[in-house]
Structure 1
Amino acid sequence: MKTRHTIHTAAAGLAVLLALSACGGAATGSQATDIPKTQNTRDISEGVQPDEAAVALLPESYKAKGELTVAMDLSSPPMTFLAEDNATPIGVNPDLARLVAKKLGLKLKFENTAFDTIIPGIDGGRYDFTATTMSATEERLKVLDMINYLKGGSAVAVAKGNPLNLANDALCGKNIGVTKGSSQQLKHLPNVSKWTCEEKGNQAINAITLPNVQEALTQLDSKRIDGVFYDASALAWAKEQQPGHFTVLEPRMDTRTDTNVAMGLKKGSPLTPALQKAIQSVLETPEYKESLDYWGLGESAITEAKIRQ
């Protein structure tokens, strides 16, 4: 879903949004609390029982070790980041990784590492798997087994209340902000412009390339651009942290691509069958939907932990 540069810009751009979260609402569901989300370090997997079928598929070496190591780039709220204690991984990906480990009856060890070092680390045996909002690209599938666990995707943010009456298929001639190096800039916006505008004889969408999402949202707020095309999860988080500033169009933009993201482990790993079974078990738990709802991503739920080919 992202290039490495996108992750850096998301982290930089959302730094202000993260700081604003102390004014945010309380958690909901069994994570209910009167503290801000960025301070909530509760383990969502508390009380979740192992899945016997998944445990039965575990290789003996993992049973003996009793622990899984997961690699994450903890820099991209609300998916994967550190709590205000600067020690506890929080967000959708840490929640789901904890649930997967619990379904396998194993402890979980987090390794915070740069995104572009994750695959080499898995290949070199330093990490057992990753849950870091990774798209199953052709290149990655050559070296990883990848299992769907979440729906990704892109969305468009517009001025509060959508005064220009914009829609996903009605952006022709509009100034739409994208972040430098993102999949939206490099691939999705040119394609959407072609399909919805240029092939119909209309003016192309005017892409305004900006350094990060915070700058893009600032320009939207000041009416210097008409919209922002970015990762749906980040826009949902930003909307929660900056209420009343902008509207996110629904549904998400159709980019005519498989938007599911996948957990990854070494190609041909003996852990793959057990991990797939555990992920499928997690998708069927109330905690899965609870986590997505809590982080503002209820639309991202899927029902099948499919191994990507």
Structure 2
Amino acid sequence: MKHGRNILSAVAGTLVALAMGLAGTAQAASITSSSFNLSPDQHDRVRTTPDAAAIQAVPATFQFAQKDELVIGLSVAWPPLSTYATDAKTVVGFDPDLAQLVADGLGRKLKIVPIAWEDWPLALQSGKVDAVVSNVTVTEQRKEKFDFSTYRRDVLGFYVPDSSPIKSIREPKDVAGLRVITDSGTNQEKILLAWDKENVAHGLKPVQVLYYDDLAVRDVALRSGRADAILSVNSALAYAAAQKGGIRVVGTISGGWPILADVGITTRRGSGLAAPLTQLLNDLISSGKYTQVLDRWSLGTEAIDKARTNPPGLPKS
């Protein structure tokens, strides 16, 4: 078992959890395994035209990784955010669709570079990619090295096997004594560890935190009863529940619990690309293209009203 790194200070987040829980339940109900085009033929992918204002805002000093291309780093791991199509090589999902819109808006050809999620900071800092679109939450610590242009709410979900007696997980006491799977080095891990710390301080049973590097093994562990619950990316778990059955949502929370959190297109700090990307995202929101892409992947409940550059992020702990 790996050990936690940073722990958010635990404060009551019941109202946020309840609000996010209603949204997450609606999202899970709306997703079906037939909702998505997983064919390599993405003829129904939403496209747009070059955005002159956004292009003009890109600093002349910005050096793109490839001539005439926008190179996007993307972790292919969590459908419907991203996955491989039926040909096992074409990347499809919400993140690649958004990356396509951004490349179109900048008048460049999209090139997706699959990367492990843990490797996105190095990929950016080395100049291998121009930006990362991979469910990266805005945090104050990350803002020291990276810039963000926000594009989606960060929502986490608690899921249990269908046969589980657990009906609801909304607050720290609900996980006391449970075996809970989560993802190492993530905000969900921080939240779970914070909840556990609060429980132990109040004399409740500790959480047994479980980690699996292999998603298939993780899935088997949950469904077979080797774990009581999982806390991870809600959109991915909702997709898995609809596609395979056998698990169900029992609660959702903000990825920034106890505050709301957004994920953003991530770029090198001070590169000058963040502001043009934010402008482009807001133009896509205004045109309706942004909503079309969200709806294509049943992610409408995670929409934002306005993209922002480097908004307040999750605090350092």
Give your verdict on TM over 0.5.
Answer: yes
Query: Separation in 2 of the partners of 1:40 and 1:203?
Result: 52
Query: Separation in 2 of the partners of 1:179 and 1:267?
Result: 29
Which residue of the partner structure matches residue 81 of structure 1? 83
Closer, same or farther: CA 219–116 of 1 in aligned 2, 3 Å: closer
CA contact (8 A) 1:58 1:271 kept: yes
- Verify: 1:25 aligned to 2:34, yes or no: yes
Specify which of 153, 157, 160 is matched with residue 159 of structure 2: 157
Specify which of 192, 215, 232 is matched with residue 189 of structure 1: 192
* TM-score, length basis structure 2: 0.73
Query: Separation in 1 of the partners of 2:55 and 2:188?
Result: 43
Query: Separation in 2 of the partners of 1:266 and 1:224?
Result: 41
In structure 2, list runs of 5 or more residues that go unmatched.
Answer: 4-31, 312-317
Letter of the structure 2 residue corresponding to residue 124 of structure 1:
S
May I ask how many residue pairs the two structures share in their alignment? 276
| C-alpha displacement of 1:44 | 2.0
After superposition, the C-alpha distances for 1:32-90 in whole angstroms (9 at most, x for unaligned) are xxxx53555336233x2333322332345779953321122233333233222233221
Letter of the structure 1 residue corresponding to residue 230 of structure 2:
V
In structure 1, list runs of 5 or more residues that go unmatched.
Answer: 4-22, 28-35
Which residue of the partner structure matches residue 249 of structure 2? 248
Query: Separation in 1 of the partners of 2:298 and 2:215?
Result: 18
CA contact (8 A) 2:156 2:252 kept: no
Letter of the structure 1 residue corresponding to residue 191 of structure 2:
H
Letter of the structure 2 residue corresponding to residue 25 of structure 1:
S
Which residue of the partner structure matches residue 177 of structure 1? 180
Letter of the structure 1 residue corresponding to residue 83 of structure 2:
F
CA contact (8 A) 1:41 1:83 kept: no
Query: Separation in 2 of the partners of 1:185 and 1:60?
Result: 39
Closer, same or farther: CA 76–166 of 1 in aligned 2, 3 Å: closer
RMSD, aligned α-carbons: 3.3
| C-alpha displacement of 1:278 | 0.8
CA contact (8 A) 1:236 1:297 kept: no
Letter of the structure 1 residue corresponding to residue 249 of structure 2:
V
Query: Bigger CA drift: 117-126 or 81-90?
Result: 117-126
Query: Separation in 2 of the partners of 1:298 and 1:40?
Result: 23
3-state SS, counterpart of residue 148 of structure 1:
strand
Which residue of the partner structure matches residue 166 of structure 1? 168
CA contact (8 A) 1:179 1:216 kept: no
CA contact (8 A) 1:44 1:99 kept: no
Query: Separation in 2 of the partners of 1:117 and 1:219?
Result: 26
After superposition, the C-alpha distances for 1:112-131 in whole angstroms (9 at most, x for unaligned) are 23334433333333321111
Closer, same or farther: CA 68–62 of 1 in aligned 2, 3 Å: farther
Percent sequence identity is: 24
CA contact (8 A) 2:164 2:228 kept: no
Which residue of the partner structure matches residue 262 of structure 2? 260
Query: Separation in 2 of the partners of 1:96 and 1:282?
Result: 10
3-state SS, counterpart of residue 123 of structure 2:
helix
3-state SS, counterpart of residue 37 of structure 1:
coil
Query: Bigger CA drift: 254-263 or 82-91?
Result: 254-263
Query: Bigger CA drift: 284-293 or 55-64?
Result: 55-64
Letter of the structure 2 residue corresponding to residue 55 of structure 1:
I
- The residue correspondences of 1:48-63 to structure 2 (distance < 5 A) are 48-60=48-60
* TM-score, length basis structure 1: 0.75
| C-alpha displacement of 1:210 | 4.2
Which residue of the partner structure matches residue 19 of structure 1? none
Query: Separation in 1 of the partners of 2:250 and 2:286?
Result: 28
3-state SS, counterpart of residue 132 of structure 1:
coil
Closer, same or farther: CA 41–103 of 1 in aligned 2, 3 Å: same
- The residue correspondences of 1:190-229 to structure 2 (distance < 5 A) are 190-195=193-198, 197-198=199-200, 201=202, 203-204=204-205, 206-211=207-212, 212=214, 214-229=216-231
CA contact (8 A) 2:181 2:209 kept: yes
Letter of the structure 1 residue corresponding to residue 114 of structure 2:
N
Letter of the structure 2 residue corresponding to residue 112 of structure 1:
P
Which residue of the partner structure matches residue 30 of structure 1? none
Closer, same or farther: CA 185–265 of 1 in aligned 2, 3 Å: closer
After superposition, the C-alpha distances for 1:145-166 in whole angstroms (9 at most, x for unaligned) are 1111111232101243874332
Which residue of the partner structure matches residue 71 of structure 1? 73
Specify which of 118, 121, 129 is matched with residue 119 of structure 1: 121
- Verify: 1:103 aligned to 2:112, yes or no: no
